[in-house]
């Protein structure tokens, strides 16, 4: 039985929600799955495959994600692995693939890591769930990118079929 580790870096919870969905799907396929925040990662050597998910906040991945990858890249490279990014920019069809998403391209350039599988998923826009500063910054960004700016907006942009397909691909990755 494969031992799979899914690590996440999440600010408002959508990346964690996606990881929980993936963990449940892999468990239904008979895999032994451990889910943890990247800051609480267990010993990587005991796992057969490792998947990392990270959200975007104010245009950047959490610096802890880069630190973790630098510290563990040699081991990550010896196992089936994957990385996915979650952002509101990925709601747009022209920016919802690893090749077209600017945050994924910045991640690859900055991290130096080349995960075996990559994905980009749309996040969740919930203005009422943000503090005043985040709400105003995100509304401004959405105004610039022609997204919803009504402060009562709550829209989940995650394509769960895409998440399921990526999870299944990861499950069979050698």
pLDDT in tens, 149-172: 999 999 999 999 999 999 999 998
End-to-end CA distance of the chain: 14
What confidence tier does 85 reach under pLDDT thresholds 50, 70, 90? very high
Report field, pTM of the whole predicted structure over 0.85: yes
pLDDT in tens, 35-74: 999 999 999 999 999 999 999 988 899 999 999 999 999 9
Which residues contact residue 89 at a Cβ distance below 8 angstroms, ignoring those fewer than 6 apart? 56, 95, 101, 102, 103, 145
Tokens of 161: 């079929």
Report the C-alpha gap between 55 and 53 in whole angstroms: 7
pLDDT averaged over every residue in the chain: 94
């Amino acid at each position: 039985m494969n031992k799979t580790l899914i690590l996440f870096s999440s600010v408002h919870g959508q990346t964690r929600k996606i990881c929980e969905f993936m963990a449940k799907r892999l468990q239904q396929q008979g895999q032994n799955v451990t889910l943890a925040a990247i800051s609480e990662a267990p010993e990587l050597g005991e796992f057969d495959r490792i998947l990392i998910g990270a959200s975007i906040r104010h245009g950047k991945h959490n610096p802890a994600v880069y630190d973790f990858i630098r510290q563990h890249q040699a081991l990550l490279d010896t196992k089936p692995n994957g990385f996915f990014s979650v952002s509101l920019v990925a709601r747009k069809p022209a920016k919802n693939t690893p090749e077209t998403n600017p945050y994924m391209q910045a991640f690859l350039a900055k991290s130096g890591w080349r995960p075996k599988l990559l994905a980009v998923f749309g996040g969740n826009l919930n203005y009422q769930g943000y503090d005043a500063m985040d709400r105003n910054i995100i509304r401004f960004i959405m105004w610039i990118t022609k997204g919803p700016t009504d402060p009562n907006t709550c829209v989940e942009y995650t394509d769960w079929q895409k998440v399921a397909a990526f999870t299944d691909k990861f499950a069979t990755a050698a």
